Structure 1
């Protein structure tokens, strides 16, 4: 009888893992479902028995000592091959002995829709009706996949089990394998008269409208999940989920810093010196703003509660306005004389470096961030 090590193509000092890998490789090549030839079938029997002996430490020890393991414990233990085969081939074969037929109804895929919002939509939230192109339930067959008035038929080959078995007899015992039925594809039933609208799928592609309330405080990259609003599954299976990915468009005046809004206010030099009051347009209407006398470029004026409503919460952020004092660049003779007279009277020092002031840079950074 052939040497078991030669049959598996391993050395006599091969490890248990090496023996297992060798058997797995040969079994996949020689299994009757893959290679139905008679020669392959005989080799498959030899390979299986060789592995049965060498994978058991006691049998392998007796075999290495010259004992006759060919028809000893190995032959009586061959029925365990079913478990071994299911380990190696069960998942790939699509089912195991005694398995149930597949269901035609499966969960539908998730869908993703991208929505662009204006910054103003983020302040309080917004309602949108979104057009979605997905699979929907076939109205003709209501997901049954059959032409109205007909129904699925039990498969004549597998008799409704969804799988067929094959038995290979040998001196070592019977090897029983199970695989999905090729006729019904494992469903256990066939569709003699498929629905002409959905071609037997139970669903069709269509455009539908989804109403969505987008909450305040969302930001670019955030995904909102609508459970059960995705594609309907095959044969009218449950819907997947719908994900809404948000992009917030840039605004020409305002930018965002967390729940706060940032803006820049240009102030003339006289107004900066004397102070003034003005009305600015925020994202949700006009708001009064007092500019104190002597305000400097980089100063930040805060208007409470005029920012963004947070995603989880109710207290709005603030509107922070950075001041930029505008120095006139064109003066007529009269204006220039007034400025020169003012400079003489105030006796302001000339330009010079000042002590480093961290607060100034913090204000500037906050003002342009976002």
Structure 2
């Protein structure tokens, strides 16, 4: 069977860069790897992709292929080891574990510490106006006894005899495609490259201990539920002199009995009597910034909305202040005195809209009928 053009196999042009070839190979390898793709023909497709990449990822082989094609003087094979940077070892490691193929991490290089997260529940007004609060968290700190070395006083860590100080060990595995070697973190030194024979009695050789620490956190004005604040340098300590991680404070804002919040705007439901809505009134409205007066025009309908400009929440990023929206809810009385009922009947008669009253006794209905004649 005639071989397909390698560029066609990877789906790239003949002028593709090495980075484009690498990306195409990585995408197709994950798609057709036989341990993931169980469809018929996936195994052959994967071998074809790997063969094409082995040739095109090597500058010399690629030049020969461009000149002579498949029948070139080099007699290109179908191996599975990659060229430079990214090859089959990387793909295999991504499926079966291991660390990064040809890339080797220096175990003694400075590394940033892990980040931490803390969930803080705050009151509605604390979120609106901001506040400074003190929290207490559990976090790792450098051991004071051994200064982070993990070794007992008078002793020092030695080069790990398992990985020879590299922090990684080679693991050989038999696969359907042959024997493959990958790199994994050394189980003895856990990637540090150092082995501690006499451990510090305080930290048991870890070089750090867990402590409770109090931290002051400034709640920014206008923060909303679910938003988070980064407190720089308050995470786990760094490794090998690296910087400490960060603390991320996630805010959980309690609800308020009076107000509802939507972004920077606040909503307030205003109950009005029928008389207030019909005749108009001036009422006092609570806001997060204090009470204000609001004039209610006569004939105001239920669900009418009034806007109090600038009476909402300050934007947490400094983009102005929201508004407060007042929504009218006309309240219908559930119990009326006889005098109130009579006045409403007279009002209805004047309006020419006499209702068929519900809930009245038969005597009341007869009396009202006689009065209406």
- TM-score bracket, normalised by the shorter chain, equals 0.5 to 0.7
2:75 maps to 60
Indicate the SS of the match to 2:277: helix
Among 233, 241, 257, which residue is 1:252 paired with?
257
TM-score, normalization by structure 1 = 0.60
Give distance in 2, aligned partners of 1:122 and 1:235: 39
Q: How many equivalent pairs are there?
A: 276
Q: TM-score, normalised by structure 2?
A: 0.60
Q: Pick which of 122-131 and 187-196 moved more.
A: 187-196
Indicate how the Cα distance of structure 1 residues 263 and 16 shifts in structure 2: closer, same or farther if over 3 A, else same.
closer
2:305 equivalent in structure 1: 300
Which of 125, 128, 138 aligns to 1:123? It is 128
**Of 308, 326, 329, which aligns to 2:334?**
329
Q: Is the 8 A contact 1:273 1:294 kept in 2?
A: yes
2:150 to 145, 153, 165: 145
Shift of 1:322: 0.7
Contact 1:162 1:181 in 2 (8 A): yes
Match of 2:371 in 1: none
Query: Is the contact made by 2:82 and 2:89 (CA closer than 8 Å) also made in structure 1?
Result: no
- The equivalent of 2:345 in structure 1 is 340
Equivalent position SS for 1:60: coil
- 1:150-169 maps to which residues of 2 (within 5 A)? 150-154=155-159
Is residue 203–residue 236 contact of structure 1 (8 Å, CA) maintained in 2? no
Q: Which runs of 5 or more residues in structure 1 are unaligned?
A: 1-13, 25-54, 64-80, 166-176, 352-370
| Conserved 8 A contact 2:348-2:354 | no
Answer 1 or 2: higher relative contact order, Cα 8 Å, separation at least 6: 1
1:242 aligns with 2:247: yes
Q: Verify: 1:220 aligned to 2:225, yes or no.
A: yes
SS in 1 for 2:346: helix
- Determine the structure 2 residue equivalent to 1:284: 289
Partner of 1:315: 320
Equivalent positions of 1:46-195 (< 5 A) are: 57-60=72-75, 102-103=107-108, 106-154=111-159, 187=192, 189-195=194-200
Asked if 1 retains the 8 angstrom alpha-carbon contact of 2:345 and 2:354, the reply is: no
In structure 2, the CA distance between the partners of 1:15 and 1:282, relative to structure 1 (3 Å rule), is: closer
How far apart are 1:229 and its partner, in Å?
Answer: 1.7
Q: Aligned equivalents of 1:302 and 1:179: distance in 2?
A: 63
Q: SS at the partner of 2:249? A: strand
Larger radius of gyration: 1
Change (3 A) 1:266 1:181: closer
Q: CA deviation at 1:291?
A: 2.1
Residue 336 of structure 1 aligns to a residue whose secondary structure is helix
CA distance 1:270–1:160, shift in 2 (3 Å)? closer
Deviation at 1:254, TM superposition (A): 0.9
Q: CA deviation at 1:277?
A: 2.3
3-state SS of paired residue (1:328): coil
1:202 corresponding residue in structure 2: 207
- What's the offset of the Cα at 1:164? 9.5
Structure 1: how far apart are the matches of 2:300 and 2:105? 80
Closer/same/farther in 2, CA of residues 260 and 161 from structure 1, 3 Å limit: closer
Q: Distance in 2 between matches of 1:131 and 1:187?
A: 30
CA distance in 2 between counterparts of 1:265 and 1:217 reads: 24
Instruction: Give the drift of 1:127.
Output: 2.1
**1:305 partner SS:** coil
Give 1:290 deviation, angstroms. Answer: 2.4
Contact 2:141 2:237 in 1 (8 A): yes
Alpha-carbon separation, structure 2, partners of 1:312 and 1:272: 39
Query: How big is the alpha-carbon RMSD for the aligned residues of Structure 1 and Structure 2?
Result: 4.2
Moved more, 178-187 or 240-249: 178-187
Secondary structure of the corresponding residue to residue 222 of structure 2: coil
CA contact (8 A) 2:314 2:322 kept: yes
> What are the within-5 Å matches in structure 2 for residues 6-45 of structure 1?
17=47
Which residue among 274, 278, 283 is the counterpart of 1:273? 278
